[in-house]
Structure formats: structure tokens, C-alpha cells
Amino acid sequence: MKLTKKISNGLCSTRNLAYRYQGKIQLKGGSNVALNLFKKSAKKLDDYSLKHGVGLVAYDDPSSVISEQFNTIRTNIQFSSIDKELHSILFTSSAPSEGKSTVSNNVAVSWAKQDKRVILIDADLRRPTIHKTFNVSNKSGLSNFLLGTASLEEVIQPTMIENLFVITSGPTAPNPSELLSSKKIQKLFQILTTKYDFMILDAPPVNSVTDAQILATKVDGVILVVPQKIADKTGVTHAKKALEIVHANVLGAVMNRMAKDKMKGYYGGQYGGY
């Protein structure tokens, strides 16, 4: 039996671009992603966010419909785990440029605006964007801390948003997977989850490198970002399996770039079972 919780959707406009957006989370056991979500369109690696960061609509335009959708995603992530409170959440996707940073960063903002203390970590040591998005230095970040060349205090940076702190990627390291599997990162996560209400990881894609699989085992829950008509169905299935192999707690998927006509009936946080 397939079970789905629809989480949210919205019309999104960011500081640089206007786009249509819909977020939706499928809970465990749910796999009823409509086939048309996977129709392929031309896919290319998008380097825009590498240079300029991602659009922070939840900050720039908090009363917009799309910000409301990020709030709904936030709320439904919180309620997606009945047995265990979630304090650490990793966002990933099957392939690059599918919206991991956009969704994770905006959900982090949404949490911070709820007066929750949030630490957002750029765990994508290969294609980092958080320093660009929040306009902070990337001289000292996660890679420095893991290499032992910077202390925790040195790598945590405040942002323009109250309650929201970031750890940027730090300079590119030659061995990201090794760094991310070190014992030091486990200790780091333990400390951060006691100091902050939520720890959010912006991770690399599952099917490209092992980093996300490694990190997924160290957090309370994992969210897959799946862009409509861009994500490849086989790729998404593979990513889900890869996460399950390492016993990651896959909470569900946020459907990104949904067409407007697919958004009907979402308002009011409607839940549905299929």
C-alpha cells in the first residue's frame, strides 16, 4: 500500500529569478510520484548558484506564497516523525543541480524565523554555495574543522537572519569523502545538536559521490529533493535504494519545480492517502 503526505507547494520568486515551485513530501513507503514528473527535459549542470548562491525567498519575501510553502515543508518535516523528535536533517537529491541548496537553505530560514536556533552546514564540499547565499567568508569552514586547522568557534558564523548560523564548506579539500567519514564529524554533530534546535545539512547528490550516503547515517532524517520533469525516475529510485542500504531514515521527498496546475488542492496543508 502506498502512503503519501502532501506537504506543500507554491509560486516562487527569488531575488534573481521568478519561478514556479511546489514542494511535496512523500512519507516512508510512498512511491507514487506521478510518471509525468519524470519526463526528461534537457538537463545541464547549473553553475549559477555556485557563483551567486541560491534565492532566499523565505528571507527576501517572507509573506509570499512560496515562503508559506517553505513554512509548510518545515512543519511537515517536523511532524513526519512520530516516534522521534528530529534535530538533524540532511537534504540531498539523486543528481546535481536539482534544488538541494534552494530547498534546504530556505527551510533553514523558515525554522530560524520560528525562533528556533538553527545551524546550516554546507556539507557539499565539492559544489558549495552557502557562503555565496549568505554572503559570508569561506576562508574557514567544515573542511578546516575536520582537518584540525580551525576550531568550532572559528567556523560557526552568524548570518543576517537572527537565530540562523552557518558553517560554510571551507576551502576545497582533495578527499571530501574521507573527511566526511571521520570520527570528528560524528563528534561535531553531537555537539551541534545539543547547542542548536536544528542542524540542517546541504549535501551533495546521492548518485554522484558517496558523501551523502556517509552523512545520511549520522542524521535523524533525510529529505530527497526531486525536480519535476528533470529528475530521472531510475536515478531517484537508485538514490532511495542507496540511502536505504545504509539504513538512512528517509523521511520523504520535496517535489521541486512543479507545474502550476499540479498545485491545486494543496492549500491548507491537505493530507492524502493513496
Ligand X SMILES: Nc1ncnc2c1ncn2[C@@H]1O[C@H](COP(=O)(O)OP(=O)(O)OP(=O)(O)O)[C@@H](O)[C@H]1O
- Residues contributing to the site for ligand X (CB under 6 A): 12, 19, 21, 46, 48-49, 54-55, 93, 96-102, 124, 127, 129, 205, 256-257
| 204 vs 221, beta carbon nearer ligand X | 204
| 3 vs 50, beta carbon nearer ligand X | 50
Output the smallest distance, CB 69 to ligand X, in A. Answer: 10
Stretch that binds Mg ion, among 20-28, 62-70, 93-101, 143-151 (CB under 5 A): 93-101
Q: Is the dihedral of CA 199, 226, 63, 85 positive or negative?
A: negative
β-sheet bridge partners, residue 88: 199
Output the smallest distance, CB 9 to ligand X, in A. Answer: 10
Is residue 256 within the footprint of Mg ion (CB under 5 A)? no
Q: List for the chain the helix, strand, coil content (%; round to 5).
A: 35, 15, 50
Output the smallest distance, CB 123 to Mg ion, in A. Answer: 10
Is residue 101 within the footprint of Mg ion (CB under 5 A)? yes
Return the SS3 of 87: coil
| 221 vs 227, beta carbon nearer ligand X | 227
| 125 vs 156, beta carbon nearer ligand X | 125
Number of residues forming the site for Mg ion (CB under 5 A):
2
Q: Are 146 and 185 in contact (CB under 8 A)?
A: yes
Output the smallest distance, CB 194 to ligand X, in A. Answer: 28
Angle, helix 100-112 to helix 65-79, in steps of 10 degrees: 80
Q: Please state the φ and ψ torsions of residue 79, each to the nearest 5 degrees.
A: -90, 0
Q: Are 207 and 235 in contact (CB under 8 A)?
A: yes
Q: Are 129 and 121 in contact (CB under 8 A)?
A: no
Q: What does the binding site for Mg ion look like in residue numbers (CB under 5 A)?
A: 100-101
